[in-house]
Amino acid sequence: NFNLFGCRCGDGAMALLTCWLLLFEGVLLTTSGLTHTSLHTFKLSRASPGHAASHAAAGGLKGAGDSQATVFDADEHGKRQHNPHHQKSDAAPATAGHGKGPHPSHPAPWFGETELKRIAAMVYTVVWVGTPPRPMRVQVDTGSSDLIIPSCSCSSCHGDGHHCFNLSASRTATLCPWNADCPFRISYGDGTKLSGKVLEEMVAMDIDGKPQMPTVLYVGLMYAAQPHAVFTEVGIDGIFGLAYDSIATTKQPSPISLVVAKHGLEDVFAMYIGSRPEGKDGTLTIGGYDKRLFNGAIHWTPITEESYYCVETMVLEVGGRPVVSGPSHFGHVFVDSGTTFTLLPYPAFQAVKSFLQERYCHLPLVCPPDNGPPKHTMFDHLCMVGTELPKGYPTFTWHFKGGAVVHVPPEAYFSQIPYGDKFLHCFGLGPLRGVRPMTI
């Protein structure tokens, strides 16, 4: 389910990356806290254009056990103090943000923390919608800005056994007051088209399995999906967009903006995708970040405008050797947790493919078999089956403007999709053809 968007790159805000979020979210969800294995940290901070950039380099992540949602207080040194109104956990959240103003130098005075999980290549959390509150699994998407959930009256909007929303059953749901029809329409890069009506509704975060931090949000209620809502195929009900207000199809403030405003939080969010598929060790924090998630300093790289999280990539190394160099070869680069592959401009992808086939042909699926079909490789969507990924694949190293460097091991750029008692290991890099170069 990848979302392709345009973005003008210029001087502007800063995005903090401690693990390249662009790399294969879900399957390879990395960056900002979206990756598997020990890379799963990523932090984006949406600062207003014009703020000076601070540079840092992402450190290694600390190990984290299964996390639970919590709300923390933090002192000025960033040490979390337990909020007596909430139960503390040992969760290790990831970071991303979109604050206006200077980049946060330490965790906010307090922040909310909720669990992230993965199904196949998609990362989701649970929100509670309506009164009485009903749980919804929503994909966490930094490439859109709307909260969208399925109406129970739309059969193509939700799968069997999935949650759906009954408008008449909630005491707090109201259609938007500015338009009698309140329509919305949104399209995604995989061809999915959703449409419906915009509601004002009470939505709460899932904290320790209970609805907390209730906020009135604008909610897109799906009444139609063409050909169908793809994310429902893996058990996800809707989408929770974390990008800027400017790209919200509802034309209203985004969920993250309303949550931080209602609860007096710093305008920052953070994501830690978790170390394994189907695991419970991922975390989303709103209003701050948890320093227990990573070791070392956080490194910043500029983002360009308050729409999508667009950054500038300087070099991509494979196995320590530069393979793609120069921002023009990457084009516009988007950090998008809703994209399940890392997509490179076609010439850049071909350069990576050629390099791997020249130097790593001895590894499974890098080169076609002797006397076999030419497209029998991992670049042609073939996957390996096994309990572990074979050893020997190189590390990808991304260099960003400002000096931030992110090392992505093969365990992060290969997807790990449950397959019986084993996993499908699928190469998470793909080509993107278009009029102008773009990397997602």
CATH number at residue 387: 2.40.70.10
Task: Note the helical H segments in 140-267.
Answer: 255-263
Report percent pLDDT > 90 for the chain.
46
pLDDT band at 255 (very low <50, low <70, confident <90, very high): very high
- Asked whether the beta carbons of 277 and 133 are under 8 A apart, the reply is no
Residue 328, domain extent: 313-439
Residue 158 lies in a domain: no
Per the CB < 8 A criterion, the answer to whether 336 and 309 are in contact is: yes
Residues forming beta bridges with residue 221, ordered by sequence position: 149, 197
Please report which confidence band the pLDDT of residue 290 belongs to, taking 50, 70 and 90 as the band edges: confident
**Which of 124, 93, 54, 23 shows the shortest CA–CA distance to 297?**
54
Q: Do 41 and 95 meet the contact criterion of CB atoms below 8 Å apart?
A: yes
DSSP letter string over 288-301?
Answer: S--GGGBSS---EE
Query: Which two tokens mark 162?
Result: 């999935």
Tell me the C-alpha distance between 283 and 125, whole Å: 9
Residues 6+ apart with CB under 8 A from 302: 11, 12, 13, 14, 15, 53, 311, 312, 401, 402
Q: Which range among 1-10, 278-287, 292-301 shows the weakest confidence by mean pLDDT? A: 1-10
pLDDT in tens, 337-371: 988 889 999 999 999 999 999 999 999 999 999 87
Angstrom distance (rounded) from CA 121 to CA 277 = 8
Asked whether residue 136 is domain-assigned, the answer is no
Is 331 a member of any domain?
Answer: yes
Domain membership flag for residue 391 = yes
- Residue 276 inside a domain? The answer is no
CB atoms within 10 A of CB 368: 17
The residue type found at 252 is Q
Reply yes or no on whether the pLDDT at 16 is more than 50: no
CB contact at 8 A, 34 and 309: no
Segments in 44-186 forming alpha helices (H): none
Q: How far apart are CA 44 and CA 60, in angstroms?
A: 17
Q: Is 31 domain-assigned? A: no
Asked whether residue 171 is assigned to any structural domain, the reply reads: no
CA distances from 97 to 107, 164, 303, 322, 332 (A): 11, 29, 12, 30, 20
pLDDT tier at 56, thresholds 50, 70, 90: very low
Tell whether the model's pLDDT for residue 231 goes beyond 80: no
| pTM assigned to the model | 0.75
The C-alpha angle 169, 171, 174, rounded to 5 degrees, equals 95
Number of domains in the chain: 1
Kindly state the percentage of the chain with pLDDT values over 70: 69
Range with the lowest mean pLDDT among 108-112, 277-281, 317-321, 393-397? 277-281
- Inform me whether the pLDDT recorded for 79 exceeds 60: no
Residue 51 falls within a domain, yes or no? no
Residues carrying an active site annotation: 141, 336
Decide: residue 34, CB within 10 A, 0-12 exposed, 13-18 middle, 19+ buried: buried
